Amino acid sequence: MASVIEQTEGHYDVQDVEFGRVYRWCPGYTVVQCDCGKWLTLTSSTTVCRCGADYTDFIREEVASVRSGDEVLRPWRYAAERTDAGLSY
């Protein structure tokens, strides 16, 4: 079995732009060291090492163990009202 080196859950990066905010989704990933010695960055769509080891079940378990809160998944719902947003007349 692979050993987990690093794990990051999916989140939104928030950018303030001229007329509001832009929310860009950054998917979660897990960096593991395969039994063959290679380091892999596994995502929900990339789960197989070049040596043929399949980590699909491993990634499903890891993703299921990380439960993101509503504020992480929908940050726009929790954004404070901004007085500097909108068009000036």
2 close to 34: Cβ distance less than 8 angstroms? yes
* pLDDT (mean) for 75-83: 63
More confident residue, 72 or 33: 33
What's phi and psi for 21, nearest 5 deg?
-130, 150
Q: What pLDDT is recorded for position 39?
A: 92
Q: What pLDDT is recorded for position 82?
A: 53
What is the tens place of the pLDDT at every residue in 4-48?
A: 888 888 888 888 888 888 888 888 888 889 888 899 888 878 888
d(CA 53, CA 48): 6
The count of other CB atoms within 10 Å of the CB of residue 28 is: 17
In one-letter notation, the amino acid at residue 77 is: R
Residue boundaries of the structural domains of the chain? 3-75
d(CA 75, CA 24): 11
Q: What pLDDT is recorded for position 81?
A: 57
- 């998944």: which residue's tokens? 73
d(CA 62, CA 78): 27
Query: pLDDT band at residue 73, thresholds of 50, 70 and 90?
Result: low
